[in-house]
Structure 1
Amino acid sequence: MSLGISRLIAFKSLSLFWVFAYIRKMGYSLLSIPFLYASLISLLVSIASHPSINLPLLLGKKPDGSFPIWSIVMFSPFLYFVRIFSLLRRLRSREEPYTKVYDGLYIGGWPASLGMLPPGNPAIVDCTCEFPRISELSGNPYLCIPTWDTRAPQPGDIESAVKWACRKRAQSRPIFIHCAYGHGRSVTVTCALLVSLGVVEDWKAAEKFIQERRPRIHLNDLQRQSLEEWSRHRLSSPQTNKRTQVSSIIHENSSGTPHTNERTQKHAICQVGKKQTNLQNKAQDSSIPRTIDHLHKSDFQNI
């Protein structure tokens, strides 16, 4: 299991502590205090982002994408560090801030300005817990599923994001899904959305589909596991509606008169209940894995 951000921030914490110890040893005790504080905050973030804990709510990011004052003050060494690090990494990589992966669907990194936002006034799915929603985007529809860098959104969060994005697409809104760089967390959600839209058959095909358009993406083991779990629940076959079965039987057996139809309906419902009970007993006795939701028409021929 990859430690990802936990290992990186733990190394940062250790480095800051060494700086603190060195400055203190030189006799500048007061000057060393900020380094000690930054080291302790980094250690706290490292622990909270560990896969066995995974507590993105630690930073206090609100559903509207803003951070409360206490969080900005308390976690400022980490929050401003990741913003500066992100901007420097983008300058070095020269990667496009966003990529169109499908009609009306974009994926990318944190939009630090309006120039990094796709066209069309898109609805935004924010997969970060460490970056704020800038004030210029306050008019855009917005959904936040806070997730640590190198970690995976929970299957339930993925499903919520997919449903939300589908509703916005139904309103003719383009969708922009972003994380820090548009490589991992946002790709996880986008894979699920492409499957739900019927663009690809499964999330593995979706990953390849996105990589053809944004080559630097990379899903880690945690993100693949989350998608696999989402697929098992989301893509399971729907259950048959029993009322549809009853309505079909009533339609086949109705004689056309109101009173007869009412009697036929009651009779059909009773017969369906009896048939279902009998079939359940038979299935238990013979250990045949047969479900009532897949009854054949022959099961109702005597109704």
Structure 2
Amino acid sequence: MGAVHGCYLKYVGLSLTSWAVASLVYGSPTDITRRDLTNSTGFGVGVGNNEPPLWRFLCGTALYYSASINGFIAVLFKARRFAWLLGKDSKRGTIPFWSYCIFAPFHVPTVLYTFVHCRQMKKKGIPFASEVCSGWYIGGRYSNLLRKHWSCVIDLTVEFPELCWSQTETYYHVPLWDGNPPSIEWIEAAARVATANKEKGKVLVHCAHGVGRSTTVMCACLVKAGEFKTWEEAFEACKLERKCIKLNQGMKKALSLWQKAYV
């Protein structure tokens, strides 16, 4: 989920794996319903076909549910639609309990992967957030661990609650699936908010890993602030300070269209 290319494929993989395991071990969804639910005799200990019917029903259903949820999320990633579906509050950056319940097969692997990946980046010398220009920071989910006070935080995630809420004066949320570029209108709005608050102090633009989504908006912020003439120049400058940043073709196109329309 930290890559900017083909992020949806991770969820395609999770979906196919869940479906394959469920099919091989427990049979088709119809088999599970007819065989295990209708013939349920109670709980017990066992594996595969040796499990009591109710356990087979619950385990098989959980795997098929995981396959369905992750397949559905992958479609939304690819379509670049309905980023609000997870229910994240755009005013406070919180995610409701019902979202964790309904979308657990998405949330759990996303949280685990991001936790591991961000710490691997840290071991390689890439901080949770990097100052790419004076007072301008690109970061990831764990930017709060820097324990800085921000005049403004631009949050580009939908999959995580905001951890910097208590550390910032202004919070602005742009809901994006991982690897998706923001619209030029979102880019402009975020850049305006960030530059308006820059005089008050440090500005953090963050996504999950501080690689793609955050870099896209940061490039626009630096151009809007007059630090660079083009987003390409801004990107090269950011790359010097945070070597892990990347932009996919969609992000580059969005920045070029934004630059043509607003600069």
TM-score by length of 2: 0.82
- Cα distance in structure 2, aligned partners of 1:197 and 1:9: 37
Q: Of 157, 161, 183, which aligns to 1:154? A: 183
Equivalent in the alignment of 2:85? 58
2:70–2:106 CA contact under 8 A, matched in 1: yes
- Cα distance in structure 2, aligned partners of 1:225 and 1:72: 33
156-165 or 29-38, larger mean C-alpha shift = 29-38
1:128–1:180 CA contact under 8 A, matched in 2: yes
2:151–2:197 CA contact under 8 A, matched in 1: no
1:48–1:54 CA contact under 8 A, matched in 2: yes
Q: What is the Cα deviation at residue 167 of structure 1? A: 1.6
AA paired with 2:214? S
Q: What is the Cα deviation at residue 121 of structure 1? A: 3.6
What pairs with 1:20-35 in structure 2 (closer than 5 Å)?
20-25=22-27, 26-27=48-49, 28-35=56-63
Equivalent in the alignment of 2:145? 115
Q: Of 18, 21, 34, which aligns to 2:20? A: 18
29-38 or 2-11, larger mean C-alpha shift = 2-11
Residue 49 of structure 1 aligns to a residue in which SS?
helix
Equivalent in the alignment of 2:43? none
- Cα distance in structure 1, aligned partners of 2:119 and 2:167: 28
1:24–1:32 CA contact under 8 A, matched in 2: yes
Is 2:69 aligned against 1:41? yes
Q: What is the Cα deviation at residue 91 of structure 1? A: 2.3
Equivalent in the alignment of 2:137? 106
- Cα distance in structure 1, aligned partners of 2:111 and 2:146: 15
- Cα distance in structure 2, aligned partners of 1:183 and 1:137: 21
After superposition, what is the alpha-carbon deviation per residue over 1:152-208, rounded to whole angstroms, capped at 9, x for unaligned?
0111111111111112113x1210100111110000000001101111110011110
1:107–1:190 CA contact under 8 A, matched in 2: yes
- Cα distance in structure 2, aligned partners of 1:84 and 1:123: 27
AA paired with 1:115? L
AA paired with 1:57? W
Q: Which runs of 5+ in 2 are unaligned?
A: 28-47, 50-55
1:128–1:179 CA contact under 8 A, matched in 2: yes
Equivalent in the alignment of 2:98? 70
Between the aligned residues of both structures, percent identity stands at 27
Q: Of 5, 9, 31, which aligns to 2:7? A: 5
Is 2:108 aligned against 1:80? yes
2:5–2:248 CA contact under 8 A, matched in 1: no
Residue 81 of structure 2 aligns to a residue in which SS?
coil
Equivalent in the alignment of 2:128? 97
Residue 124 of structure 1 aligns to a residue in which SS?
strand
**Greater radius of gyration (CA):** 1
After superposition, what is the alpha-carbon deviation per residue over 1:259-282, rounded to whole angstroms, capped at 9, x for unaligned?
xxxxxxxxxxxxxxxxxxxxxxxx
- Cα distance in structure 2, aligned partners of 1:19 and 1:138: 43
- Cα distance in structure 2, aligned partners of 1:22 and 1:123: 50
- Cα distance in structure 1, aligned partners of 2:12 and 2:165: 33
Equivalent in the alignment of 2:166? 138
AA paired with 1:85? Y
Q: What is the Cα deviation at residue 116 of structure 1? A: 3.9
Is 2:231 aligned against 1:229? no
After superposition, what is the alpha-carbon deviation per residue over 1:123-171, rounded to whole angstroms, capped at 9, x for unaligned?
211011111113x63352211101111110111111111111112113x
- Cα distance in structure 1, aligned partners of 2:262 and 2:71: 37
TM-score by length of 1: 0.71
Q: Of 227, 234, 240, which aligns to 1:206? A: 234
- Cα distance in structure 1, aligned partners of 2:58 and 2:153: 44
AA paired with 2:12? A
Q: What is the Cα deviation at residue 53 of structure 1? A: 4.3
AA paired with 2:129? Y
Equivalent in the alignment of 1:188? 216
Equivalent in the alignment of 1:220? 248
AA paired with 1:97? F
What pairs with 1:287-298 in structure 2 (closer than 5 Å)?
none
Equivalent in the alignment of 2:44? none
